[in-house]
Structure 1
Amino acid sequence: MDSRIIKKKLTTLTEHSTAQFGTMTPHHMVEHLSLTVKIAYKIKWPEFEPSEKQLKQKEMLLHTAMDFPKGLQAPGTNGTPLPLKYATLTEAKEQLLKSIEEYNDFFRTNPGELTMHPQLGWLSFAEWEKFHLKHFKHHFEQFGL
């Protein structure tokens, strides 16, 4: 993931940016992306065997041109954004960029590592890259970035 491109896109995001869909504020969205990046390299998710439905979702999301569907809810949130961790949007943006750098460092030093995604099961770096590309695109479109 290229943090320079993401940093450039984030410069236009403010607390007053309006969501075109969904329930997240700009601050919630940035923290949500940061958390998702951390799941790829830092937050250990319990191992599980994906269901047939989850395997089909993984195939569609990672191996077709399908975009993230609007209205999809993050696992375990019931459509309600998680409480904010950082005091300001600026701090949340800094933490997102830091998490991207740590993600890149992790997979640079562990290129063959598989890590657990909470819905899709084990993912390789290449699969995480596809996932993050679509996930970031989805949320950046949410705020017109």
Structure 2
Amino acid sequence: NFANLTWDHFYAHTDITSLDGSIFEKRTAHGYFILAAAAGLFVYPNKGPVAANYGLEECRFLRPIYHNDTVYVRLTCKQKIDRDPRGKELPSGIVKWYVEVFDVEDELVAIATILTMVQKKQTVFTEMTSEKIEEMLQRLSEDTKPKWGIMTPQHMIEHLEFTYRIASGEVQDFEVATPEKYLEKTHESLYNYQKFPRNTNFPLLEKETLEPLKHPDLETAKKKFLEAREDYLDYFKENPDATLKNIVFGDLNKFEWYLLERKHLNHHFEQFGLI
């Protein structure tokens, strides 16, 4: 099957009548099949931090593996290498693994150095679950003072409500403010683990000016904020493949709106000392 799949019909793998005078006692497994089977033994199938196979640096097949042989694999982490992010890609690094393949008699039959691209652990931002947001809101009062900026607690909550209305498609009557020549890099910045700069100006607000409040009090604003967030979540449940424009980052898909939500809420909740 492996020979047919790969077009590798080398005689040692397919023709037991041609083994006389060769180094093989019986029909032998392809070396790359041993390597592929080893990968199958050590790869965790579910989605996780491992992003991709990044390649091989060295590989040696030390002895043949024959029909009905049994193998097992041992991995040792050799090195972790930092890697600059590229485009719309979560921060990652390269992990080098020293791979040893043994037969049932514990004899070493193959070695390799395999490289995997692995997503970096995210420790900068608090995940904004519904429970965590409720916890943050309970700690926010009219008397809470910002660490920077001129917003009051209610102005901040109403600002977040408005951005959720953009994210749900309710508000889309605006032009993207970021110039075209900067938009790609700005968009890609959603994928990194860098915080928004303090005192960043929202393009739809006049600089150093507070908008008139829409709601009679902070508690009402919190309620409307949560309703707007539910509308955003419901929209992408019903339209998982949709894209909606954001005034700063351009067209965003469901995952990118999640990245923006996490950064944006962390920014403002940190602004008011809730994180």
TM-score (norm 1): 0.93
| Equivalent position amino acid for 2:182 in 1 | K
- Residue in 1 aligned with 2:171? 43
Consecutive aligned runs of 4 or more in structure 1 exceeding 6 Å deviation: none
- Residue in 2 aligned with 1:76? 204
Structure possessing the higher relative contact order (Cα contacts under 8 Å, 6 or more residues apart): 1
| Equivalent position amino acid for 1:53 in 2 | Y
Distance 1:117 1:8, change over 3 A: same
- Residue in 1 aligned with 2:137? 10
Q: Distance in 2 between matches of 1:89 and 1:119?
A: 27
| Equivalent position amino acid for 1:136 in 2 | L
- Residue in 1 aligned with 2:186? 57
- Residue in 2 aligned with 1:129? 258
Give, in angstroms, the shift of residue 47 of structure 1.
5.3
C-alpha contact (below 8 Å) 1:113/1:125 kept by paired residues: yes
The share of aligned pairs that are identical, in percent, is: 38
Give, in angstroms, the shift of residue 67 of structure 1.
0.7
Instruction: Tell me the secondary structure at the aligned position of residue 122 of structure 1.
Output: strand
Identify, as 1 or 2, the structure richer in strand.
2
Give, in angstroms, the shift of residue 3 of structure 1.
2.5
Q: Distance in 1 between matches of 2:224 and 2:137?
A: 12
Q: Distance in 2 between matches of 1:91 and 1:22?
A: 23
Whether 1:22 aligns to 2:165 is no
C-alpha contact (below 8 Å) 1:47/1:121 kept by paired residues: no
Q: Distance in 1 between matches of 2:129 and 2:198?
A: 24
Give, in angstroms, the shift of residue 81 of structure 1.
2.4
- Residue in 2 aligned with 1:32? 159
| Equivalent position amino acid for 1:68 in 2 | F
- Residue in 1 aligned with 2:223? 94
Q: Distance in 1 between matches of 2:249 and 2:136?
A: 27
TM-score (norm 2): 0.50
Query: What 5-or-longer segments of structure 2 have no aligned partner?
Result: 1-127
